[in-house]
């Protein structure tokens, strides 16, 4: 779809507008928000830099030594290799596995939030701007879906594709399927919010004026209405990022998300789960703690952003 | 005769994020037993805040920063919350602006009346119910016995404001703070409610502080008028005198907005400009930027309240006039 | 009443969609004949089977038959367990329901009072602590809570069992873990795990609603009437707070059902959740199809019950106004 003159300038201006407003001031005044942002940023850097930062290649079977399996944190391996955070049942370095797992979790989380936001915003724009039957159908579907928990929908979508596809094909497509499943369970909130905002904006004078002067519908949507809905969408996206990451790791923990060849934090916890009983706690607890750190920092930052940008969104 | 309510030098401040704003600045007035005092001004002038302060219901971030409130010879602004609470309904009752939101939506009006009476009066439930029915009849609600079982949403706005009046009168208070009691109602019902309030007060000898921005209401119902502007009192006196010959230019502007037989004018639109907000106070007389007759000193010195006939007024024009007369 | 009728219509729609997805799975995923008679059957046998199953009938006929069977509780035979799906579900259902009920009891019993208390004592240090704790509670993944509890209370302290239901007592077709000491002990960790998130959520919601109600005009007017603080807080504010909170709690019940999948996996709790995870992992189509319909039915029942509860609590809805506060 072509969006003529996407209104990038307007978008940039409105983004810059928030930053210059007292958002930056509030940010400086909130140590909790600063801390959450710093932790989140550090985790993002660690995840993106995993190939460089990780002491071992988590995907290279040669780097794992079965003789070094399940060593506690701080041990040295058979050949004197240091394992800062211990090793997993395959003798893989925990720190490296966690860094790669963090990367997978973040990528899936960000991608599914982006997909959900794009789909939700588009559906919301369409429903709000055109109204009528289209609006009724989209919003009814949203109503129905909203009465089911997101994780169940993602689980069922993933489960249905898994049963419908040959096993190998599903393994290959596991990441995009998972992203689609999570995105499909989170689009409703964007659609509802955007639709509400569009209904307000649609009747504003500048939109009416643009309509009268014969500006095309998509141009009005893209250059007049879209910039105004970006703020709330950003807030929802931040809060949903934490939810999406948790959903991904939960599905992977349940063994229905990502295959073992592509470990995320959730699947690492799953691998370690059976060794909890023998006291080898670090194999599941350490990736779990990293996940909590990620989820908390994103959640707290999202919470702050919501309050700072628009107290009315608090519900 | 001593006043029933005496507000002396009341000052209310609001703690904002970086500084303290002044909402009410040195306001003093009395209300006599059985008297209806109209308090008038534009929205934001501090009328409602004054009423709230008398009820002892100021809430954070607003607080009383100075002055005294004396009721029936007893200082009440220093009472603790529980002592103040027992005065409400029993001595000082309230009627709020919006009858649609004043009543608990989940409780029958009978229960709300009984609950109020049983809190303050030593009444058994049966006696309280009987009294509630009698009150509903008195405020003009048809089939009062059945209506006791009604929920607020089952009644119209006018009917609900009658219920609110019944609630205000149910413990026979000596003073009622009526904050814009008719503003939210249909014009046709406003007069009925105002009439009902005035009649019930006259019968019982109840005094009223009638807060409103509608000069028509003041002209119809009040004995005396207090005019507020930007948190200060600018003029107070008998209604008749103020209508006939107001001393303060602002009051004169207000009086011009009283509807007469032929037109119902938009309220308070005659004076150009707008009232200063608490976050941008004006030195001297707060009205001077809008005042057609402002003197040089109006911009720098604040006028004090001085007697002028049966009224009191805070205006340098009046001061100058009385001096040259003397 | 039109309000209730509209909700009923929506409910039927949801059920039909679920049945349709479920039927499509059943009919078009893999070859049902292969799954039932095995690879070695002759072509004639297969044809006979196809006809016997009615797979050659028109789509509408097949779908109607599927719905009819589903209504009768017949979802066929599980590929993996070789037992009728209905029997399997009947066996597992009590375990999940008991787990869900107990955890919801914990979450509601603590969440509502804590939410109300923190709203009434906003500046108290304990209130601030509880609020921070609830934020963590919302952000923690359920499976990690379960693992942490197992590590502490089962592995390190050895106080409580970490898997299974313990000893169950049979009451007709229902099996309960509530009547034996080991059954109750086995319930503690799973129900707490399942309840933590809901507890945090309910507490935050109850607090937010209570604060909102305390700001309303009728509370101000109640204060102006000189009512006692307790009467204002509990008789007026709390009752008005409870209307949306009860709605929320009812809807959360559905979430508890979904999250029980996670808890059952962590604690090897022999309920529906564990069953459905196994069904997904082994592509057990009849089981998955039945679960889809069942979960849709559960949500439909819950939504309907919440609506009816709403009608019962709020006189405004009872009058047919259909005033529905968004949550």
Burial (Cβ within 10 Å: 0-12, 13-18, ≥19) of residue B186: exposed
Copy the structure tokens of residue A99: 């860094």
Note the maximum CA span of chain C: 88
Q: Which of A309, A299, A297 is nearest to A45 (CA)?
A: A297
Residues in A whose CB is inside 8 Å of some CB of C read 140, 143-144, 147-149, 151-152, 155-156, 158-160, 162-164, 242, 246, 249-250, 253-256, 266, 269, 273, 276-277, 279, 281, 284-285, 288, 291-292, 295-296, 299-300, 303, 314-315
The pTM of the full predicted model, rounded to 2 decimals, is 0.79
Physical contact, A and C (3 or more Cβ pairs within 8 A): yes
With CB atoms and an 8 Å threshold, state whether B98 touches C315: no
With CB atoms and an 8 Å threshold, state whether A269 touches C262: no
Transcribe A103-114 into DSSP letters. HHHHHHHHHHHH
- Residues A117-156 as b/e (b if ≥16 CB within 10 A, e otherwise) read bebbbbbbbbbbbeeeeebeebbebbebbebbbbbbbbbb
pLDDT of B217 reads 85
CA distance A291 to C139: 10
Residue of A nearest to C283 (CA): A163
Positive or negative torsion for Cα C316, C319, C322, C327: positive
Q: What is the dihedral of CA B257, B263, B266, B267, to 10 degrees?
A: 30
pLDDT tens digits, one per residue of C126-157: 988 998 888 888 888 888 888 888 888 887 88
Quick check: C22 and C293 in contact, CB under 8 A?
yes
Question: B291-296 long-range contacts, Cβ below 8 Å, gap at least 24?
Answer: B291/B249, B291/B250, B292/B249, B293/B249, B293/B317, B295/B320
Q: Who has greater pLDDT, C40 or B287? A: B287
Quick check: B94 and B179 in contact, CB under 8 A?
yes
Q: Does pLDDT of B43 surpass 90? A: no
DSSP C83: S
Residue of C nearest to B168 (CA): C225
Q: Does pLDDT of A179 surpass 50? A: yes
pLDDT of B211 reads 92
With CB atoms and an 8 Å threshold, state whether C258 touches A296: no
Please give the angle made by the CA atoms of A139, A145 and A149, to the nearest 5 degrees.
145
With CB atoms and an 8 Å threshold, state whether C326 touches A255: no
Q: Which of B173, B172, B50, B155 is nearest to B103 (CA)?
A: B155
pLDDT of A20 reads 53
Please give the angle made by the CA atoms of C69, C74 and C79, to the nearest 5 degrees.
125
Q: What is the dihedral of CA C302, C307, C308, C314, to 10 degrees?
A: 140
The pair phi, psi for residue C74, each rounded to 5°, is -105, 110
Contacts of C285 in chain A (CB under 8 A): 163
pLDDT of C31 reads 60
DSSP B35: -
With CB atoms and an 8 Å threshold, state whether C224 touches B103: no
DSSP B180: S
pLDDT of B262 reads 45
pLDDT above 90 covers what percent of chain A? 3
pLDDT of B263 reads 46
CA distance C196 to A240: 20
pLDDT tens digits, one per residue of B129-145: 999 999 999 999 999 89
Contacts of C265 in chain A (CB under 8 A): 253-254
With CB atoms and an 8 Å threshold, state whether C279 touches A159: yes
pLDDT tens digits, one per residue of A70-89: 666 766 665 666 666 667 76
Burial (Cβ within 10 Å: 0-12, 13-18, ≥19) of residue B136: buried
C218 to chain B, minimum CA–CA distance in Å? 4
- Residues A2-23 as b/e (b if ≥16 CB within 10 A, e otherwise) read eeeeebeebeeebeeeeeeeee
pLDDT of B88 reads 92
Contacts of B103 in chain C (CB under 8 A): 218, 221
Copy the structure tokens of residue C118: 């923190």
With CB atoms and an 8 Å threshold, state whether A281 touches C279: no
Please give the angle made by the CA atoms of A281, C277 and A170, to the nearest 5 degrees.
100
pLDDT tens digits, one per residue of C97-109: 889 999 999 999 9
Q: Which residues pair with B14 in a beta bridge?
A: B21, B62
The pair phi, psi for residue B212, each rounded to 5°, is -160, 160
Total count of residues recorded for chain C: 327
Q: Which residue has the tokens 């200060």?
A: B232
Q: Which of C185, C319, C191 is nearest to C266 (CA)?
A: C191
The pair phi, psi for residue B313, each rounded to 5°, is -145, 145
Cβ atoms < 10 Å from Cβ of C304:
16
Average pLDDT, chain A: 76
């Amino acid at each position: 779809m072509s969006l003529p003159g996407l209104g990038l300038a307007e978008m940039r201006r409105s983004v810059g507008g928030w930053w210059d407003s007292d958002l930056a001031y509030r940010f400086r005044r909130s140590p909790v928000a600063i801390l959450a942002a710093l932790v989140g940023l550090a985790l993002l850097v660690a995840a993106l830099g995993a190939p460089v930062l990780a002491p071992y290649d988590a995907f290279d079977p040669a780097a794992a030594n079965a003789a070094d399996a399940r060593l506690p944190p701080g041990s040295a391996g058979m050949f004197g290799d240091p394992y800062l955070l211990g090793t997993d049942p395959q003798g893989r370095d925990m720190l490296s596995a966690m860094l790669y797992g963090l990367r997978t979790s973040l990528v899936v989380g960000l991608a599914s939030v982006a997909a959900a936001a794009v789909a939700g915003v588009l559906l919301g724009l369409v429903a709000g701007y055109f109204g009528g039957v289209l609006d009724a159908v989209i919003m009814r579907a949203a109503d129905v879906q909203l009465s089911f928990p997101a994780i169940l929908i993602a689980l069922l979508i993933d489960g249905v594709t898994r049963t419908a596809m040959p096993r190998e094909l599903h393994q290959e497509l596991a990441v995009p399927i998972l992203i689609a499943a999570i995105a499909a369970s989170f689009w409703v909130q964007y659609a509802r919010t955007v639709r509400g905002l569009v209904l307000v904006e649609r009747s504003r004078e500048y939109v009416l004026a643009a309509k009268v002067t014969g500006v095309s519908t998509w141009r009005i949507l893209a250059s007049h209405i879209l910039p105004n809905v970006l703020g709330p969408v950003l807030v929802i996206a931040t809060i949903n990022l934490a939810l999406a990451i948790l959903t991904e790791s939960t599905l992977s923990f349940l063994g229905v998300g990502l295959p073992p060849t592509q470990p995320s934090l959730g699947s690492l916890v799953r691998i370690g789960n059976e060794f909890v009983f023998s006291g080898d706690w670090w194999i599941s607890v350490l990736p779990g703690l990293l996940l909590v750190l990620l989820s908390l920092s994103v959640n707290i930052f999202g919470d702050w952003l919501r309050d700072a940008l628009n107290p009315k969104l608090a519900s | 005769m001593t006043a029933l309510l005496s507000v002396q030098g009341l000052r209310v401040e609001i703690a904002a994020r970086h500084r303290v704003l002044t909402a009410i600045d040195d306001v003093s007035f009395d209300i006599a037993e059985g008297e209806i005092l109209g308090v008038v001004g534009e929205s934001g002038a501090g009328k409602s805040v004054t009423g709230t302060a008398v009820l002892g219901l100021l809430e954070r971030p607003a607080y009383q920063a100075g002055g005294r409130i004396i009721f029936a010879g007893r200082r009440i602004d220093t009472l603790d919350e529980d002592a103040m609470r027992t005065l409400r309904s029993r001595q000082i009752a309230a009627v709020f602006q919006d009858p649609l939101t004043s009543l608990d939506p989940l409780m029958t009006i009978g229960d709300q009346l009984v609950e109020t009476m049983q809190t303050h009066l030593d009444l058994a439930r049966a006696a309280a119910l009987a009294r509630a029915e009698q009150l509903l009849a008195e405020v003009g609600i048809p089939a009062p016995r059945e209506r006791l079982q009604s929920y607020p949403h089952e009644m119209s706005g006018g009917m609900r404001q009658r219920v609110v009046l019944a609630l205000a009168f149910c413990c026979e208070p000596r003073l009622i703070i009526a904050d814009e009691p008719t503003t939210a109602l249909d014009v046709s019902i406003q007069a009925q409610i105002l009439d009902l309030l005035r009649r019930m007060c006259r019968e019982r000898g109840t005094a009223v502080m009638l807060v409103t921005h509608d000069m028509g209401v003041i002209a119809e119902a009040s004995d005396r008028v207090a005019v507020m502007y930007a948190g200060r009192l600018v003029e107070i006196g008998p209604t008749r005198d103020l209508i006939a010959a107001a001393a303060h230019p602002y009051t004169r502007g207000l009086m011009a907005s009283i509807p007469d037989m032929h037109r119902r004018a938009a309220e308070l639109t005659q004076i150009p400009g707008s009232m200063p907000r608490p976050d941008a106070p004006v030195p001297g007389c707060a009205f001077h930027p809008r005042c057609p007759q402002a003197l040089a000193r109006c911009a720098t010195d604040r006028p004090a309240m001085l007697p002028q006939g049966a009224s009191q007024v805070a205006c340098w024009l009046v001061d100058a006039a009385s001096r040259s007369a003397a | 009443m039109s309000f209730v009728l509209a909700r009923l219509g929506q409910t039927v729609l949801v059920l039909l969609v679920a049945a349709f997805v479920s039927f499509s799975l059943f009919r078009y995923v893999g070859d049902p004949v292969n799954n039932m008679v095995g690879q070695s059957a002759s072509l004639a046998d297969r044809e006979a089977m196809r006809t016997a199953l009615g797979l050659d009938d028109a789509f509408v006929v097949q779908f109607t038959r599927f719905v009819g069977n589903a209504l009768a509780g017949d979802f066929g035979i599980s590929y993996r367990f070789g037992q009728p799906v209905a029997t399997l579900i009947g066996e597992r259902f009590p375990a999940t329901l008991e787990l869900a009920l107990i955890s919801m009891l914990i979450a509601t019993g603590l969440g509502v009072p804590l939410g109300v208390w923190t709203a009434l004592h906003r500046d108290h240090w304990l209130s601030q602590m509880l609020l921070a704790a609830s934020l963590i509670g919302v952000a923690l993944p359920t499976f990690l809570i379960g693992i942490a509890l197992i590590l502490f209370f089962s592995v390190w302290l050895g106080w409580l069992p970490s898997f299974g239901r313990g000893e169950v007592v049979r009451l007709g077709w229902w099996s309960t873990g509530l009547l034996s000491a080991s059954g109750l002990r086995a319930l503690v960790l799973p129900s707490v795990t399942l309840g933590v998130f809901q507890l945090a959520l309910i507490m935050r919601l109850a607090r937010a609603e209570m604060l909102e109600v305390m700001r309303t005009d009728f509370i101000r007017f109640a204060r102006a009437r000189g009512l006692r603080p307790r009467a204002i807080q509990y008789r007026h504010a709390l009752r008005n707070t409870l209307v949306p909170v009860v709605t929320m709690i009812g809807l959360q019940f559905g979430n508890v059902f979904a999250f029980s999948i996670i808890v059952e996996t962590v604690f090897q709790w022999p309920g529906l959740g564990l069953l459905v995870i196994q069904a997904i992992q082994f592509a057990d189509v009849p089981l998955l199809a039945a679960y889809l319909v069942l979960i849709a039915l559960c949500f439909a029942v819950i939504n309907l019950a919440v609506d009816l509860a709403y009608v019962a609590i709020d006189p405004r809805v009872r009058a047919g106004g259909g005033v529905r506060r968004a949550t």
